[in-house]
Amino acid sequence: MPLNLKSIHYLNRQSRRESPLSWLIAVILLLLILGLFVQLWIGTGTLPGIFFVSQDIAAQQKLNQALRKENDQRIQQIKSLKGGDEELESMARADIGMLKPGEIFYEIPAVS
Helices (H), 20-46: 20-41
Residue 89 lies in a domain: yes
Query: What is d(CA 73, CA 66) in angstroms, rounded to the nearest whole number?
Result: 11
Is residue 80 situated within a structural domain?
Answer: yes
pLDDT 10s digits, 19-77: 788 889 999 999 999 988 887 778 777 777 888 889 999 999 999 999 999 999 999 88
Domain count along the chain: 2
Instruction: Examine residue 4 and state whether it is found in any structural domain, yes or no.
Output: yes
- Amino acid type, 105: F
Q: Is the pLDDT of residue 94 over 70?
A: yes
Q: Which domain holds residue 54?
A: 45-94
* Within-domain flag for 105: no
- Within-domain flag for 100: no
Q: How far apart are CA 52 and CA 82, in angstroms?
A: 45
1 and 37 housed in the same domain: yes
